[in-house]
Amino acid sequence: MQPDPTPYDAFLLVSFGGPEKPDDVVPFLENVTRGRGIPRERLAEVGEHYFQFGGRSPINDQNRAFLAAVAEDFAGNGVDLPVYWGNRNWDPYLTDTVRRMAQDGVRRAAVLATSAYASYSGCRQYREDLAAAVAAVADEGLTPPRMDKLRHYFNHPGFMEAMVDATLAALADLPDADREGAHLVFVTHSIPESMNEGSGPRGGAYVEQHLSVAEEIVERVRTETGRRHRHELVYCSRSGAPHVPWLEPDVNDHLHALARHGHPGVVVVPIGFVSDHMEVVYDLDTEAASTAEKLGLPFARAGTAGLDPRFVAMVRDLLLERAAGERGDEGVVRAAEGALPPSWDVCPATCCPNPRAPRPALAQEDA
């Protein structure tokens, strides 16, 4: 049977964006941190991370490759939809992309954000930026498309299975003597504690969802290897005012604790990230790997979902699932693995509040 994407006539990938040359770094960081009160010394520190890699973030190239893979998957499976891409903080900016969609006559688009979990920075902020882009294009006299954000996919099999196999591959990279007792260090981006407390319909969804992913990976690794590894959820990339509590422990602090307790090795699993962008290549591959080396702690890093064909195919599955739901079809399958159910399609108006002041946001229930 031919897959039916109606009522959607386009797909939009929404991402964070990143600098592509040294002259982009400071303007990009100013875009990211505008209105957040980030100390200048922290901006300078983060800027150096980019300059160590030639002033270029890998994220835009990764998004280009991912979007090309999604387009190929759509075409190979009979989903006849154009694909678009827009960023929150760098070119191609969302407003420019939404303008082009309006000029192309797109009426309704399914939207996937490159963030798998619920939180203000991982969901509502994207929806706020979509609302601003739609409003700007409407002010120009164009008719912007309706945007439906696809559900959080942290527990979709396409993401989960890619991360399980990446964890098993990283374990295999450790020396034989260190593998059996290796500690699994699940890493995600730190956020303020208050942001986690407001995430999801009941609060605490950000941490809850990550813990569910970690537990499922640990159990799936156990069924493959016969060993249940000790593990912990830790954080990286803390920023913001020093007096504001953020989620801890930091990955480097955790590595020090593991070394003190004599753990033979670690596998770092970046479950909070879908591709090898700066938080992975600097915070983990550079900084955390250096910490482990200084501690004499054997270290391996699992890959991200990236271009794994299962993760690419997940986009098509989520789009067709949502399309069927919007049409009112019966028996819609909503794939999910682990202890938590499939996430909601439409965000409650009260979840993941803006920590500064309310802003209009798309793809949510009426307040």
Output the pLDDT for position 36.
64
Global pTM value = 0.95
H or E stretch covering 125: helix 125-139
Q: pLDDT tens track of the chain, all 367 residues?
A: 789 999 999 999 999 999 999 898 888 888 887 766 666 677 777 788 888 889 899 999 999 999 999 999 999 999 999 999 999 999 999 999 999 999 999 999 999 999 999 999 999 999 999 999 999 999 999 999 999 999 999 999 999 999 999 999 999 999 999 999 999 999 999 999 999 999 999 999 999 999 999 999 999 999 999 999 999 999 999 977 788 999 999 999 999 999 999 999 999 999 999 999 999 999 999 999 999 999 999 999 999 999 999 999 999 999 999 999 999 999 999 999 999 999 999 999 999 999 989 999 999 998 6
For domain 157-301, the question of CATH label 3.40.50.1400 is answered with: yes
Rounded to an integer, what distance in angstroms lies between the CA atom of residue 108 and that of residue 129?
17
Closest CA to 188 of 254, 124, 260, 128: 254
Rounded to an integer, what distance in angstroms lies between the CA atom of residue 211 and that of residue 200?
15
Instruction: Give every CB contact of residue 162 below 8 A, 6+ residues apart in sequence.
Output: 305, 306, 308, 310, 311
> Domain coordinates of the chain in residue numbers?
10-153+307-327, 157-301
Output the pLDDT for position 102.
98
Output the pLDDT for position 40.
67
Output the pLDDT for position 52.
87
Question: Rounded to the nearest 5°, which phi and psi values hold at 211?
Answer: -65, -35
The rounded radius of gyration (Å) of the Cα atoms in the chain is 20
- Specify the CATH class of 10-153+307-327 in words: alpha beta
Output the pLDDT for position 48.
83
List, as one string, the DSSP characters of 196-228.
Answer: HHTSTTTS-HHHHHHHHHHHHHHHHHHHHHS--
Quick check: do 10-153+307-327 and 157-301 share a fold? yes
